[in-house]
Amino acid sequence: MKYSYYSDCGNFKKRNEDAYELHIAASNDRMRGMLAVCDGVSTSDDGSYASRFVIAQLHELFAKRSQQAIDWKGEIYRIHDALCAAGTRRHKRYGTTLSLFYFEDDHYHFLQVGDSRIYLYQRSLYQLSIDQTLAQQKYQNQTISLEEYRRSDEHHILTQCIGITKQLQLAEGHGSWRSEDGVLVCSDGISNLLSLSMLNEHMKLFLAEGSDEAKKLAEEALAYGEKDNLTALMFSREQS
């Protein structure tokens, strides 16, 4: 297997409100794994606490049950309720996005809350997750055109958020992937300014060379003027 990961507060923010988990459990005949990125919501009282809370819960869950079936959707709702309860006890609002990619051998599924992203590389890179933002919602409801969607300043207004949204709705999907395919899970600090073709080139290099492309992705985003925190996880089951 190949993997690369990097997380940084960037050049403009004083602390990193992103958190991540890359956890693989492999044996001779089976490989399971989870990749997750959380981006704490800056308008909440403590996005850093929220993102780390969710990742800590996911880490503990997978560490204990890596060889067992996991009801990921049910667990995300449980974690959401626990974060809401923590906020209520402290009279605070804790909010975070979540992009979770889980696989067992050649089958995967994903769960999405907010605007962090999951990309899958199968001969070329495409966005697997669906943003839960006001711009995306308007476009799906056909109240704005594709051109209006592209120009919209509402891409970062979340319609769903772990810890804050009262009626949490998860975007989800599943499919199959080959050992030579790759996955990229990232916060919007990576995807804001880098085009799909740019991300595709980094993934191609990662798959071909197993190089530290996650850090290079972040460095390129910073060079383009990104002001947010940056987190990227890249993974392939293919042997180096």
Strands 125-127 and 117-121: antiparallel
Cα dist. 210→4, 142, 146, 155, 238 in Å? 8, 41, 36, 32, 10
Residue 69's pLDDT band (boundaries 50, 70, 90)? confident
CATH number for 95: 3.60.40.10
Identify which has the larger pLDDT, 166 or 205: 205
* pTM of the entire predicted model: 0.94
How confident is the model at residue 139, as a pLDDT? 67
Report how far residue 140's alpha carbon sits from residue 5's, in angstroms, rounded to the nearest whole number. 32
Q: Total domain count for the chain? A: 1
Q: Residue 203 is part of which domain span?
A: 2-236
Question: Cβ contacts of residue 132 below 8 Å, gap of 6+?
Answer: 112, 113, 114, 115, 158, 159, 160, 169, 171
Amino acid found at 164: I
Least Cα distance to 32 among 78, 75, 1, 55 occurs for 1
Q: In the chain, what percentage of residues exceed pLDDT 90?
A: 75
How confident is the model at residue 65, as a pLDDT? 87
pLDDT digits (tens, 9 = 90+) for 171-216: 999 999 999 999 999 999 999 999 999 999 999 999 998 889 999 9
pLDDT digits (tens, 9 = 90+) for 77-110: 999 999 999 999 999 999 999 999 999 999 999 9
